[in-house]
Amino acid sequence: MSHSSELIAEDIGAYLAEHERKEILRFLTCGSVDDGKSTLIGRLLHDSRMIYADQLAAIRRESAHSGSADGEIDLALLVDGLQAEREQGITIDVAYRYFSTTKRKFIIADCPGHEQYTRNMVTGASTCEAAIILMDASKGVLTQTRRHTFIVSLLGIRHVIVAVNKMDLVDFSEARFEEIKAEYLAFAERLDIEELHFIPMSALKGDNVVDKSERMPWYQGSTLMYLLENVHVAAERNHADLRFPVQWVNRPDSNFRGYSGTIVSGVVRPGDEITVLPSRRTSTVARVVTFDGDRKEAMTPEAVTLTLADQIDISRGDMIVHTSNLPAVRDRFEAMIVWMHDEGMIPGREYLFKQTTRMITGSITAIRHRVNINSLDHEQAPALNLNEIGRCEVRLNQPLMIDRYGRNRDTGSFIIIDRITNLTVGAGMVCDTGAEASPKDAWDAQPRATHVYAGGPVRPEELQERLEQRGVTVLFTGLTASGKTTIAQAVERALFDAGKLATTVDGQQLRIGISRDLGFTAAERSENLRRGIEVARILNEAGVIALCAFVAPHEQPRARARDTVGAERFIEIMVDTPLEVCRERDLRGLYAAADRGEIPDFPGVSAEFEPPKSPDLILQTTALTLDECVKRVMTLLRERGVID
């Protein structure tokens, strides 16, 4: 529905062109049951003169026997369109309404307040850029208010308007408004909400909805309509990361092959160098084709057809991205999941996972924690039930092209579908692609076993005196084929010849045994290092020098390794070898396999290597011989009092 304009009568073409150029704001209304969401939307439409005369007359008639507005016109009936909704006076399904003002076009998602319809609220909020969270001034902050606020934060909606509604029930009290505001802020301060506004209003009476309220002169802020017309959302769209999921291969004749779909983020131009995922084939964009002809540029959220300079096997579900800006390609990652089905989640059960145009099978292998909606505390849970939210580990049977949800809402989200019933049972937001360097939960996890005894009959001081050495951990870190293991083993030989006790703990060797279940994502590399460091710690407590050779590409897991064994017995050595030299030394062909996309998350190729900020020693292997490297390590061990 559009606003009235004199231009319609004068020049309908100019009016339509002006209307087409307006920016669209998608927002939702949510909150607990009977907080006045539908009434608010009806008031917005009524006071901004967005209701046709016949609609208004029908609503007046319906209000006489179905309304709940104490004899006044029940504006909620404009939105509650289902017969069951009108009979019960509640919202069941998400109701969408469209209207415009002179400044902007709007799409409203009116979400249900009942807990059993939380899944509908998630659906409605998934495409919104702003949220109105309503509260009944006479009831204050309720559980469903907290749940909806948490979901709004989880879905990355940055602009939140807290509407304290039904102020007429509390005599428009400023003290009551401030009390509710303080209670809400105490909860919301732990959430990631960028912009937060509070408005006291009465949707039924029209106070502070479109027009300023004369009954609340103490409120000097903006009306709801003013905020909706002026919230800035265009700059938030992701124009940096080209993500183009292929929806359809357009082949009208033998002379044309194009790839059609919607640009979910980024900008594309003819001449751009692109990579097709997951095959990692590369080419160049030849044309950007639209219904109106070729374009020099297209951007999100436009639907276009791309043609490439090379003939590449591309099909529905593949993704075209800029070669210089790749998403993570993962079959394992962690996500916040909202469970939306009466039958609870079953960890390990196989489901369908749909993201953009790609659908693959997989399972939820573990639940890291469940979120307590009232306190935001993390709780242990064997499963997720209806409307529960938790952080979960997802394992897929094929890799998926993903970004963190906070960076890209389309490639960072997915839905979970039951393979038997074909019902949507859950929705997920990727919170860890496996590319981050953050330490995993296992670094902080407490032992599940109780009454565990740790320690032995021989004290470390006795071992040090007997062996004439201190048990320390020496971490050799560097790129694959940089020489870490070679140097560690040579140092082990030198220590043995000097009558000392040392052993090499190699990351590759661990993968044959205790880490055989791990792959090569950043999260799994972190876990492999953690297991190796736990072995080193036990060796240190036995007085043995542990020489650990791990790629360990990220700073935070290395810092956790230092904390695990203790800073006083941890030495970090950077084996500094240029990438091109590592490639030459690579006899196993790992770099070539990584170039072909066969090994994902390969430091130096498809993943970043973070050099240590302040290592205890740097060994530049192109300038030093192996013997010289060993001598420098031995000198450092003597200087630290590890050996005599």
Cα 623 from chain centroid?
A: 43
Closest listed residue to residue 233, CA positions, set 174, 157, 287, 285: 157
Q: Does the 244-322 domain belong in CATH 2.40.30.10?
A: yes
Question: Across residues 20-26, what is the average pLDDT?
Answer: 80
How far is 586 from 576, CA to CA, in rounded Å?
Answer: 15
Q: pLDDT tens for residues 182-229?
A: 999 998 888 878 889 999 999 888 899 988 999 999 999 999 999 999
Question: Across residues 285-314, what is the average pLDDT?
Answer: 93
Question: Across residues 72-88, what is the average pLDDT?
Answer: 53
pLDDT above 50 for 415: yes
Which amino acid is it at 189? E
CB 189 within 8 A of CB 151: no
Q: How far is CA 602 from CA 114, 134, 166, 255, 331, in A?
A: 47, 48, 57, 39, 15
What residues are paired with 57 via a beta bridge? none
DSSP H or E run through 633: helix 626-639
For residue 352, give the DSSP letter.
Answer: E
Superfamily of structural domain 456-639: P-loop containing nucleotide triphosphate hydrolases (3.40.50.300)
Closest listed residue to residue 111, CA positions, set 157, 168, 70, 178: 157
Q: Is 279 exposed, middle or buried (0-12, 13-18, 19+ CB in 10 A)?
A: middle
Q: How confident is the model at residue 436 (pLDDT cuts 50, 70, 90)?
A: very low
Q: How confident is the model at residue 380 (pLDDT cuts 50, 70, 90)?
A: confident
Closest listed residue to residue 273, CA positions, set 320, 226, 240, 230: 320
What does the block give as tokens for 474? 């020496």
pLDDT above 60 for 292: yes
Q: How far is CA 457 from CA 291, 462, 495, 566, in A?
A: 80, 10, 26, 21
What does the block give as tokens for 298? 């297209």
For the CA atoms of 133, 138, 141, 143, the dihedral, rounded to the nearest 10 degrees, stands at -100
Angle between helices 555-565 and 522-541 (to 10 degrees): 20
Average pLDDT, the chain: 84
Q: How far is CA 463 from CA 147, 460, 570, in A?
A: 56, 5, 18
Question: Across residues 44-65, what is the average pLDDT?
Answer: 66
**pLDDT for residue 94:** 64
Lowest mean pLDDT among 1-10, 36-45, 129-138, 609-618: 1-10
Q: Where in the chain is the domain with CATH 3.40.50.300?
A: 7-235, 456-639
pLDDT above 80 for 492: yes
Provide long-range contacts, Cβ within 8 A and 24+ apart, for 461-469.
463/542, 463/543, 464/543, 466/543, 467/500, 467/501, 467/543, 468/499, 468/500, 468/643, 468/644, 469/500, 469/501, 469/543, 469/545, 469/642, 469/643, 469/644
CB 389 within 8 A of CB 443: no
**pLDDT for residue 2:** 45
CA-based R_g, the chain, Å: 31
What residues are paired with 571 via a beta bridge? 474
Question: Peptide bond preceding 252: is omega within 30 degrees of 0, i.e. cis?
Answer: no
Burial 162-193 (b: 16+ CB within 10 A, else e): bbbbbbbebebeeebbebbbeebeebbeeeeb
Share of the chain above pLDDT 90, in %: 47
Tally Cβ neighbours within 10 Å of residue 143: 11
Q: How confident is the model at residue 86 (pLDDT cuts 50, 70, 90)?
A: very low
Q: Higher confidence at residue 379 or residue 100?
A: 379
**pLDDT for residue 438:** 40
**pLDDT for residue 78:** 61
CB 110 within 8 A of CB 37: yes
Query: Residue 587: CB partners within 8 Å, gap ≥ 6?
Result: 481
How far is 288 from 306, CA to CA, in rounded Å?
Answer: 5
How far is 179 from 373, CA to CA, in rounded Å?
Answer: 21
What does the block give as tokens for 585? 């030394």
pLDDT above 50 for 91: no
DSSP H or E run through 277: strand 273-277
CB 611 within 8 A of CB 532: no
How far is 343 from 465, CA to CA, in rounded Å?
Answer: 62
pLDDT above 70 for 609: yes
Query: Residue 85: CB partners within 8 Å, gap ≥ 6?
Result: 91, 92, 93
Residue in this structure with the two tokens 């939380």, named with its chain if needed? 118
**What is the CATH code for 7-235?**
3.40.50.300
Closest listed residue to residue 396, CA positions, set 341, 324, 335: 335
Q: pLDDT tens for residues 525-573?
A: 889 999 999 999 999 988 999 999 999 998 889 988 998 898 889 999 9
Q: Which CATH number fits domain 330-432: 3.30.540.10, 2.40.30.10, 3.30.1950.10, 3.40.50.720?
A: 2.40.30.10
Which amino acid is it at 576? D
How far is 621 from 628, CA to CA, in rounded Å?
Answer: 9
How far is 275 from 219, CA to CA, in rounded Å?
Answer: 54
